[in-house]
Chains A and B, each alone.
Chain A
Amino acid sequence: MATSVGRMQEKEPQFFAKLGHTTVHEGELARHSVYTRFLHWAYGIFFFLALFTGFATYMPFLFRWFAPAFGGPATTRMLHPWFGLGFVFFFGLQAINWWGPMKWTDTDSRWIKHLPEFLRSTQALEPEDVGMYNGGQKLQFWEIVVGSIVYLITGIVMWAGARTFGATSVAISYILHDISALIMLFGIFFHLYQATFGQPGTIQAMTRGTVSEAWAWTHAPAWFRQMTGRDPRQALEQERQRRIARERAIEQLARGGPAGPPGGGRA
């Protein structure tokens, strides 16, 4: 990289390019544009608003205490469909935005087959052919696409109510809406975990918009190759050698000896 700090060239609506930018520091790669990040947090917020208002009505027995925060049970019920619409709207835009990179490939099918191995921490690196998103991320994306469609249709049926769509369609929608919410909630726990504690260094992809090169060659090797033109495994090995050399140099310095050979610094 010529300069240590770069601006990402983003293909996104003019407005968002002006609204913010993505600063790429040395050793980092640009991952998500301002527009992508805006959409993600927009539907992220609406998701939780819809979740909490929804659960106050789903099972008041356990979740009645959410309702006061939204102005009482009746207001909670009144707001929920609007939060839901907000979620579906922004996620819909994101789905269009991500339709290309989320296309399902053989790599993803293979990834899903090997899922149990990836769950073990003995597997430090993603397979070399994993690109921008791995099979698990894509699976979750498509689950949310399908789930959102189910939400939208069944939600409108329940919103307009039995007086418009009849008692049976409301009763069926009630069940499907619940199932969609339960599956999505189940999945979101994994998403939150992977974005934060599970894979440290991931959340900055959605905040500042960048990830470190080390993150990329570890978690998305094929995407690393595509972005830098370098081989992810070689890059990792170089970095490892650099650190070993650096460690030796430090140890020698500590023993009062001469500094190690040149090349201990970043290539």
Chain B
Amino acid sequence: MTERRTLQTEQISGHPGPVPGMGMQRNLEVCKLIDATTCIGCKACEVACVEWNDLPFQPTTFDNTYQTMPETNWNYWNLIKFREHQREDGTLMWLMRKDQCMHCADPGCLAACPADGAIVKYANGIVDFHQENCIGCEFCVSGCPFNIPKFNPATKKVYKCTLCSDRVGQGLEPACIKACPTGCLHFGTKEDMKMLAETRAKQLRDVSGFKDAGVYDPESIGGTHVIYVLHDAKNPELYSGLPKDPSIPFAYKAWKSIFKPLGLIGATLGFVGVVFHYVFEGPKREQPEVPPPKPEPPAGRKEL
């Protein structure tokens, strides 16, 4: 029952007017919970993602860490980022963070996208790219605070994690969730996942001694539909550069929505100006004018 309403389209890039069929059903948001504290970096999710989405093989880069490649790719949407962190007492910690699209409530990619229907946000919170409408401008890449959309130069289209919208639409969990052997990945409604995450964070604080443990669900972009439990929620940057206060560039917010239309009106004033000049002042003709003026030198015309 919920599966059918989850794929109701909620926002469409570059699309004029309201979204067809909006507001007809109860809104139920989905969420993926990643408990970074129990991830062992096995990469089962990476393989499951490549398999389910039928992505072509991407050569790996070995750099003496437990990371498959430097960053996600157009054909590698899910990557466990690895970082060795030295704590104040000198002991080491391996921080594993499953990096993929965060499915923001206020998606920067969608705000930046100029193509009608290339990026949609479903009412269930999933942000999806529709490559058939993508024009390959890559503005989404610069609009994303998490460096997620990746360009394929061969197809001139941009790709990223879909949160397995095809599976979710059929009432299944995303492939990565299904593959996870430790149970560090969970999938459900945003409400449930938030509660589970807070419970786990409290456990980490109260029982495991991580006094800064907490949930990553950044307010600055209205929250995300992928949330993390972190040992140290005060320093998300430690986890291979998870931004503390992710934000969308001014260019794709106020500039695009307010100043661009105003600027266009301003430029059009040039056209209005010349039309009015012609109507009110008329053309400047070569002198003396044809037909020749009356025998007396013309009056009313001043010469410099």
Looking at B14, B150, B278, B300, which has the most chain A CB atoms within 10 Å of its CB?
B14
Given A125-B287, A162-B141, A198-B277, does the pair A73, B147 have CB atoms closer than 8 Å?
A: no
* B285, CB-defined interface residue at 8 Å: yes
The docked-state distance in angstroms from the alpha carbon of A64 to that of B264 is 15
Given A57-B135, A122-B300, does the pair A200, B286 have CB atoms closer than 8 Å?
A: yes
For B297, list chain A residues within 8 Å (CB).
240
* Chain A proximity mask over B113-138: 1 for CB below 8 Å, otherwise 0: 01110000000000000000111111
Q: Which of the segments B49-57, B84-92, B248-256 contacts the partner chain?
A: B248-256
State the Cβ distance, B210 to closest chain A Cβ, in Å: 32
* Chain A proximity mask over B269-304: 1 for CB below 8 Å, otherwise 0: 111011001100111111110001001010011111
B251 and A197 form a contact (CB under 8 A): no
Chain A residues numbered 88-108 whose CB sits less than 8 Å from any CB in chain B: none
For B141, list chain A residues within 8 Å (CB).
161-163, 167, 170
* B139, CB-defined interface residue at 8 Å: yes
Chain A residue with the shortest CB-CB distance to B115? A73
* A48, CB-defined interface residue at 8 Å: no
For A236, list chain B residues within 8 Å (CB).
287-288
Given A120-B281, A168-B249, does the pair A128, B147 have CB atoms closer than 8 Å?
A: no
B304 and A123 form a contact (CB under 8 A): yes
State the Cβ distance, A84 to closest chain B Cβ, in Å: 14
* A113, CB-defined interface residue at 8 Å: no
* A76, CB-defined interface residue at 8 Å: yes
* Chain B proximity mask over A211-242: 1 for CB below 8 Å, otherwise 0: 01011011100000000000001001001100
A59 and B286 form a contact (CB under 8 A): no
Partner of A179, one of B114, B134, B263, B282: B263
Chain B residue with the shortest CB-CB distance to A196? B283
Chain A residues numbered 9-34 whose CB sits less than 8 Å from any CB in chain B: none
Partner of A64, one of B116, B261, B303: B116
State the Cβ distance, A14 to closest chain B Cβ, in Å: 34
For B267, list chain A residues within 8 Å (CB).
182-183, 185-186
**B residues contacting the other copy or chain, number (CB 8 A):** 54
State the Cβ distance, B158 to closest chain A Cβ, in Å: 10
* A2, CB-defined interface residue at 8 Å: no
B271 and A189 form a contact (CB under 8 A): yes
For B151, list chain A residues within 8 Å (CB).
161, 163
A123 and B274 form a contact (CB under 8 A): no
* B21, CB-defined interface residue at 8 Å: no
For B250, list chain A residues within 8 Å (CB).
171, 175
For A215, list chain B residues within 8 Å (CB).
286
Chain B residue with the shortest CB-CB distance to A245? B295
* A252, CB-defined interface residue at 8 Å: no
A170 and B300 form a contact (CB under 8 A): no
Partner of A244, one of B263, B285, B295: B295
* A267, CB-defined interface residue at 8 Å: no
State the Cβ distance, A105 to closest chain B Cβ, in Å: 17
State the Cβ distance, A205 to closest chain B Cβ, in Å: 12
B277 and A119 form a contact (CB under 8 A): yes
Chain A residues numbered 233-261 whose CB sits less than 8 Å from any CB in chain B: 233, 236, 239-240, 243-244, 246-248
B266 and A174 form a contact (CB under 8 A): no
B263 and A74 form a contact (CB under 8 A): no
Sample of 27 A–B contacts (CB below 8 Å): A62-B264, A74-B134, A74-B135, A77-B135, A77-B137, A119-B281, A121-B283, A123-B304, A161-B151, A167-B143, A170-B142, A174-B255, A175-B250, A178-B255, A183-B267, A186-B267, A188-B270, A189-B270, A190-B274, A192-B274, A200-B283, A200-B285, A200-B286, A201-B286, A233-B303, A244-B295, A247-B292
Chain B residues with CB under 8 Å of chain A are: 14, 16, 114-116, 133-139, 141-144, 147, 150-151, 156, 249-252, 255, 260-261, 263-264, 266-267, 269-271, 273-274, 277-278, 281-288, 292, 295, 297, 300-304
The 6 closest A-B pairs by CB, nearest first: A189-B270, A171-B249, A193-B274, A170-B142, A243-B292, A214-B286
